[in-house]
Amino acid sequence: MRARISFRAVSRVLGVLAAPLGLAKAPCPHTVIHWVTRLSITRLQQAGALTKNPLSADPFANGFIWIIDISIALGCGKLLAVLALDAHHYARQAGAPGLEHVHPIAVSVAESWTGEAVAEVLKELIGTLGRPVALRKDGGSALAQAADELDAKGLGTRCLDDLSHVAANVLKHPYVQHPQFDTFLSACGQVSKHLKHSALACLAPPKTSTKARFMHLHRLVKWADQLLQHSPPGAARAGSAFAKLRGALDRLPACKAFIHLFRRDAEALLQCQEVLKVQGLREQTRAQCHQIVEAMPPSSPVRQGFEAWMATHLAVARELGLDTVGLPISSDPIASLFGVAKQRSQGPIKDADRLAVYLPAFCGQLSPGDAASVLEVSVAQQREVMGSVSSLSQQRRQVLPNPGSLESLFEADRHRHVELLAGSKNRSKNARIYPLSNNYEQAQGALWEAGNEATLPLNSNVSVIPMAR
């Protein structure tokens, strides 16, 4: 049996199991937190020695797809996380990638993330781990700018758009301009007010996020379609449940055309997502998805946009030789990582710096070797990572009961944030990175000249191979 529980719950469970496990004393929650923090440190240290599985179509890349995302938390810090997923995933594993299949290679917190700042983190990772096969990202402008920055520095690679965000965007463009869209949202709000505090409360609409609305709007549309089926045409007896429901529907019945069209398109895309996430994008799954979207008319912008995305990314799969195996095209592992960390790692105060330290511990599979590695992390190493980072809980205890102490929140040392990058304990601090052209077949001249004073970083993973001209 496997379950995700909080740090305090871990302490209580170990208290119950102390005697069978031979524990003289169960660890307190703070000890558990220290263990998890040290596990995160070791995970990032071990990531520098990841076994590379280069693709024959791109032998100079490290064989991994890097998944990048940014998440907000309480406070001014924003979380940047980078995970490495084996590009051969579908050749080695059955099913969609999960947290146990990804390797954390970077976690960093900053007050804001620009394209230049994200590119600097990726540049340092490339200097340690080598160039990835591709970068997978959502539609955020900062991540797109970071990819452009790497291209300008000769460190660029392929960019893959996350499937879920693509599906949301192809739905958004035609439907956000639909004449019934605003009416539908307003009616859903009014229906919620009427039903929540009544005997019909079980029929209230599901709660959906207003941010990235079109990633979750299908749930609201499905609810509305099912609710309207409880109100068929015809008279309603006064005082009956039917009459009360009809009185709470507001303008929802007037949106039937929007509801029918949106549900048709959204459900087709959801079926395609299930196929592509479980099996990857390849020739066979593209054909399956093509049959699914045939439920939409050929002129549908949703169908055209989705098929254009599949064609573009299938061309990348062919280029990499993954068109028969499956190209991973979902960012679900990193979304799950953020969700698990925010729900399970600590209390109601979701501090970005504290969350960042726990993220690597939730990736990969645990082994007895992890316990041995955790024991090797010293208190000094842990303090180097977290020692001067003040948590929001700490600040609250120090400032709230003491009027006149607000200025302490803006001291210079408060602006230091957590940054954990893949590499060994003794990773070279040399920041000079020597880019190798991806288009190596067109390179002219010697790859390395004798007498050149430039040197590669100490722990660089670049191999200089003699090649005949």
pLDDT of residue 390: 60
Instruction: Say yes or no: 177 and 147 in one domain.
Output: no
Instruction: Say yes or no: 423 and 405 in one domain.
Output: yes
Residue at which a domain ends, from 299, 329, 359:
329
pLDDT of residue 465: 35
Residue at which a domain ends, from 329, 360, 384:
329
Q: What does the pLDDT look like over 167-192, one tens digit per residue? A: 999 999 999 999 999 999 999 999 99
363 burial via Cβ count (<10 Å: 0-12, 13-18, 19+): buried
Instruction: Say yes or no: 248 and 127 in one domain.
Output: no
Regions of the chain with pLDDT less than 50: 412-413, 424-469
Q: How far apart are CA 354 and CA 352, in angstroms?
A: 6
pLDDT of residue 50: 82
Instruction: Say yes or no: 179 and 123 in one domain.
Output: no
pLDDT of residue 257: 94
CATH for 102? 3.30.420.10
Cα Rg of the chain (Å, integer): 26
pLDDT of residue 30: 87
Number of domains making up the chain: 2
Instruction: Say yes or no: 150 and 229 in one domain.
Output: no
pLDDT of residue 278: 95
Instruction: Say yes or no: 175 and 131 in one domain.
Output: no
Give the residue among 138, 398, 172 at the shortest CA–CA distance from 265. Answer: 172
3-state secondary structure at position 365: coil
Q: How far apart are CA 109 and CA 171, in angstroms?
A: 32
Instruction: Say yes or no: 318 and 216 in one domain.
Output: yes
pLDDT of residue 49: 79
Residue at which a domain ends, from 305, 329, 353:
329
Q: How far apart are CA 183 and CA 194, in angstroms?
A: 17
pLDDT of residue 418: 79
Instruction: Say yes or no: 247 and 188 in one domain.
Output: yes
Instruction: Say yes or no: 390 and 337 in one domain.
Output: yes
Structural domain including 133 reads 1-161+330-469
Instruction: Say yes or no: 98 and 10 in one domain.
Output: yes
Instruction: Say yes or no: 276 and 369 in one domain.
Output: no
Instruction: Say yes or no: 167 and 254 in one domain.
Output: yes
